[in-house]
Amino acid sequence: MTLTPFVVVFFAFGFTTALLALYRKLLSMKEDDYVHLIESEARYIPQQVTMAHKMHAIDRWGETLTILTAIAGLVLIGVYTYLRVTTS
């Protein structure tokens, strides 16, 4: 048995998580942090709501991918340990 598929899956999850974090960082740079409550600024509110929904979705996917990456790493460690014990 070889570790290659496990390593590939682990790095795929890790790389995807890193790309999602970079995308979130780039998206948050364009975010308007001010709360617009004045009637003359009402046109900004839908944009802020849309951005908040996007950020929430990205955060949810980021948490999921982080957990999957950790699980893949633990599985990789487990398989490596099993192979070391059985071949010794």
Model confidence band, residue 46 (pLDDT cutoffs 50, 70, 90): confident
Query: Crossing angle for the helix pair 45-87 and 4-29, nearest 10 degrees?
Result: 160
CA distances from 85 to 40, 52, 74, 76, 78 (A): 70, 49, 16, 14, 11
pLDDT tens-digit profile of 13-45?
A: 999 999 999 999 999 998 877 777 788 888 888
Confidence (pTM): 0.83
For residue 45, what are its two tokens? 């509110």
